[in-house]
Structure 1
């Protein structure tokens, strides 16, 4: 269930969504085995929460986008003692904030932050992965080619080369580190 709003001048919009989902017979890593290749049926998982986003053309040049999600995901019925435990790799809180600046009709650049809260590393909830904040950046140049547009874009992810844990293998055997600073280029041709 949700609500979507937009300002009369269409410069600002927001979305607010509430959700309550139940899934049965979900596979999860077997907490009684160290090998993450062994899985069991988890019985039932309940997911509930709120998602909110707000976007706005603050000035003719500045566009902002903010998001937030509160998510509570738990095992509600289980065959192996997981009932009440949080599902692994799901943070309760996460959000982002992005801003882009349109320098002229052809060139824009942006900066954004992604924040992810602490989350269980395994279905037993025996350890928590720490939360993190990652900074990303982008720049794009658009060139008209006749009636069409060609956009070259460069994205830099993890701009500050922060060390963080992206997720776990679903067991207590290990965690997967987040990617170090990386650059991604793309070309888009619109016709």
Structure 2
């Protein structure tokens, strides 16, 4: 480890930085005194706790309390003893209705999840998909035929089903060999997105 001081000399156009090493001073000092010297040097450079020499600024010009502020070393043991684990302060404000029977005269809307089914026969229609799913005991299914990348090779569909049924729709035994089932992703139209 070397003890070095940096001095700057220069003109308006250029500045030179010279690094001078005090090797003789290091040989005479003990390690503890070296650490003390380094900490003094760091405190002088950083100028910790010296609020009297602050340059005037709009934030502290009229504030006399800032000049009275004294820095004290942290009591780490006290900080560790007073440590408390914070509980979650934000609560889930959503409430799901459960009312049923004759007293409830209004209806709620079912929550739907959407799946993307692709690699099916290009001649397949939406009605055939809905009928196929009804035959497999799936009710309240909506189906929309999508424009495929290669419409002559395969067709794609967006299937909407109640959330309780979607996991059973992902069963690969229901679908023919070669078809793909994925969550439906809504993509933004890049032409409409403003940059």
TM-score class, shorter: under 0.3
TM-score normalised according to structure 1 size: 0.20
Larger radius of gyration: 2
Counting strand residues as a fraction of each chain, which structure ranks higher? 1
Counting helix residues as a fraction of each chain, which structure ranks higher? 2
TM-score normalised according to structure 2 size: 0.19
